[in-house]
Amino acid sequence: MPGGPPIGVGAPPGTTPGNVTDVQPNSGQRVSNVDIANAARDAGFRDDRPPTDPAGRKHSELAWAVAIALAESGGDRTAVGHTNGAPCGEYVLGLWQKCSATINKALFSPDANAKAAWSLYEANGRKFEGMWTTFPDPARAQLIQAEVAVKGTHRDRPGVTRPGSWPVFGDILDAIGFLVGWITDGQTWVRLGEIVGGGVLVLVGIILLYLTTKGGQK
């Protein structure tokens, strides 16, 4: 986030976006994670390529965009923070904490805030570093729920590989890079180990239960 930490208050998830003209700053209007992902996808963030940041190559730019919004504002579209005199303006607003000289309520719209975030990201060479201080950490801690949100987004909107056509060579390389990054990610193998280990424990429990029950019948 440009400038300083957000001061938005939290609220229960699931609040859907609405009109912004009568919205009060920091009123805790929580946007669902899927709605955040949809807004980011519509703005231009893609789920089939990572950002150009070396620290972000193991996840898509769309997943990172959602994670950053959660880290910046907690998903509160009305979150307002102060920059402590940054050149870009006094305030940071909305989901991605867009810097502004005034409290521009238009930026409380998830779509408008996502478009502003996309403009910053694209102008920065499709890099998050330098634009948001929450990248890569603490946004990294939000990636699991961000990935879940991305899977729930509408696939007929911008940001996904063009349907009915072969991807271009660059997209293939991006996909291979993403796959290699996923395979080499230590967390992937930790989660896989937890799943396999849990399955083994369940199987052992069933066998022991069977043997115990069978022994009791003799």
pLDDT at 8: 32
pLDDT at 122: 96
The domains of the chain are located at: 33-184, 187-218
Per-residue pLDDT in tens (0 to 9) along the chain, 218 residues: 443 333 333 333 333 444 666 789 999 999 999 999 999 999 999 998 999 999 999 999 999 999 999 999 999 999 999 998 888 889 999 999 999 999 999 999 999 999 999 999 999 999 999 999 999 999 999 999 999 999 988 765 544 433 333 344 444 555 565 566 667 666 667 777 788 888 888 888 888 888 887 655 55
The DSSP H or E segment spanning 174 is helix 169-184
pTM more than 0.75: no
Sign of the alpha-carbon torsion through 30, 107, 99, 130: positive
Task: Indicate the SS3 state at residue 80.
Answer: strand
pLDDT at 170: 44
pLDDT at 74: 96
pLDDT at 19: 60
Q: Say if residues 41 and 62 touch (Cβ distance below 8 Å).
A: yes
Domain at 33-184, CATH class = mainly alpha
pLDDT at 142: 96
**Cα 88 to Cα 12: distance, rounded to the nearest angstrom:** 31
pLDDT at 20: 67
**Cα dist from 202 to 192, 206, 208, 209, 210, whole Å:** 15, 6, 10, 10, 12
pLDDT at 178: 59
Q: What is the DSSP letter of 52?
A: S
Measured from the Cβ of residue 10, the count of other Cβ atoms closer than 10 Å reads 12
pLDDT at 86: 85
